[in-house]
Structure 1
């Protein structure tokens, strides 16, 4: 799921949730919800995450 991809990308760069969340303009709690597949990020947030990691939105959601 998309949350697994986000967590994988974040961990591959040795970033904590506390370090990564502000870089894409979200709160750490929201990131936790995304990574645990409890909530879905909106499209603008998905774009910011994809841009940060230099991947496509498709890569994250598939």
Structure 2
């Protein structure tokens, strides 16, 4: 996985976790859902890079 893409994926996952936590703390279901979506995007980006790495081998 390229370093840039890996860091983007991890940043997106961390942003999603933070947003989900804040949403839960304030009782905002929409923010909680957005946080989960951000985490899913980060996971998808990471999985895509893993596939690309495996194809290069």
TM-score scaled by length of structure 2: 0.29
Based on CA coordinates, which of the two structures has the bigger radius of gyration?
2
Structure with greater proportional helix content: 2
The TM-score with structure 1 as length reference comes to: 0.28
